[in-house]
């Protein structure tokens, strides 16, 4: 059991702070800026034992160096990307241990060339690979890479809590309804997400079980998604990566 607290930063990012209920130390994930995380540490009496970075974009790394200096902690990040603040590069099949916590590293490229995710204690910290109701744009990889990365995440325990790095849920679900308008669970989820956001609360974490039922990027073999993607493409598409690529293209154009 861990506490996973999302701290809002910038326009729509979250920094995640992770700790055991009985621990005085924490792990910080993807600090795009330092001051909100440092303020949380001060107010909660926690010490930062490590920083985990999923990829090199500044809205995920911008505060890492300052936190590392202030807290004298190790900064972990993807070995295949150049991030100056990283003191300990990590990759597939490695484990990060800090603050009494341990996370396995998964390679999930597509959004960026060396993007990683951290899995442990019933949670996955997936940066910009998998979002609640959506997935990240493909900036440095290929649709095939991103589809494979999402397939890796989709194979985790369905109870896994999805801790992504942006509050995009309502917009993602609105698009998802265009793709799969007959999905009753999706309609209910969008209604709930709108209510949550209207109250000023985060929609995260999600769960993999919910994503598998409502996220079109994880449902590229479902007949409704295949049919919608094929209509949008103007030709019949094969279930799987072809459908994924078309749905991602469709979302990019909105």
pLDDT at 46 over 90: yes
Q: Exactly one of 56, 115, 123, 128 is catalytic; which is it?
A: 128
pTM: 0.97
Active site residue 123: no
The CATH superfamily label for domain 3-252 reads Ribonuclease Z/Hydroxyacylglutathione hydrolase-like (3.60.15.10)
- Flag whether pLDDT at 149 surpasses 90: yes
**Which DSSP letter does residue 93 get?**
T
55 is an active site residue: yes
Residue 23: pLDDT band (50, 70, 90) is: confident
Residue 170 has pLDDT above 90, yes or no: yes
* pLDDT tens for each residue of 88-131: 999 999 999 999 999 999 999 999 999 999 999 999 999 999 99
3-state secondary structure 135-199: ECCCCCCCHHHHHHHHHHHHCCCCCCEEEECECCHHHHHHHHHHHCCCCHHHHHHHHHHHHHHHC
| Active site (annotated) includes residue 59 | yes
Residue 57 annotated to the active site: yes
CB distance 54 to 85 below 8 Å: no
Annotated catalytic residue, options 56, 115, 123, 166: 166
Query: With 90 as the cut, is the pLDDT of residue 254 above it?
Result: no
Find how far residue 187's CA is from the centre of its chain. 22
Is 60 tagged catalytic?
yes
Q: Is the pLDDT at 140 greater than 90, yes or no? A: yes
Any idea where the domains of the chain sit in the sequence?
A: 3-252
Whether 115 is a known active-site residue: answer: no
210 contacts 189 by C-beta, under 8 angstroms? yes
Choose the catalytic residue: 56, 111, 115, 123.
111
pLDDT category, 163, cuts 50, 70, 90? very high
Q: Name the active-site residue from 57, 115, 123, 242.
A: 57
Q: Which structure tokens are listed for 138?
A: 């493909």
């Amino acid at each position: 059991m861990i506490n996973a607290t999302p701290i809002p930063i910038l326009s729509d990012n979250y920094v995640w702070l992770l700790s055991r209920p009985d621990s005085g130390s924490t792990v910080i994930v993807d600090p795009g800026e330092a001051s909100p995380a440092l303020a949380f540490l001060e107010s909660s009496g926690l010490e930062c034992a490590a920083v985990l970075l999923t990829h090199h974009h500044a809205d995920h790394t911008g505060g890492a160096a300052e936190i590392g200096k202030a807290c004298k902690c190790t900064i972990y990040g993807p070995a295949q990307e150049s991030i100056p603040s990283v003191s300990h590069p990590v990759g597939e099949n490695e484990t990060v241990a800090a603050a009494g916590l341990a996370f396995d590293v998964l390679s999930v490229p597509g959004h960026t060339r060396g993007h990683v995710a951290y899995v442990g204690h019933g949670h996955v910290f997936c940066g910009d690979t998998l979002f609640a109701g959506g997935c990240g744009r493909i900036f440095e990889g290929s649709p095939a890479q991103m589809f494979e990365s999402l397939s890796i995440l989709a194979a985790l325990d369905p109870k896994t809590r999805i801790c992504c790095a942006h509050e995009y849920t309502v917009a993602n679900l609105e698009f998802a309804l265009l793709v799969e308008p007959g999905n009753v669970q999706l309609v209910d989820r969008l209604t709930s997400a709108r209510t949550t956001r209207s109250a000023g609360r985060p929609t995260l974490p999600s769960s993999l079980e919910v994503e598998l039922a409502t996220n079109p990027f994880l449902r590229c073999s479902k007949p409704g998604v295949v049919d919608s993607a094929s209509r949008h493409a103007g030709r019949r598409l094969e279930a799987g990566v072809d459908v994924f690529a078309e749905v991602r293209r469709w979302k990019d154009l909105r």
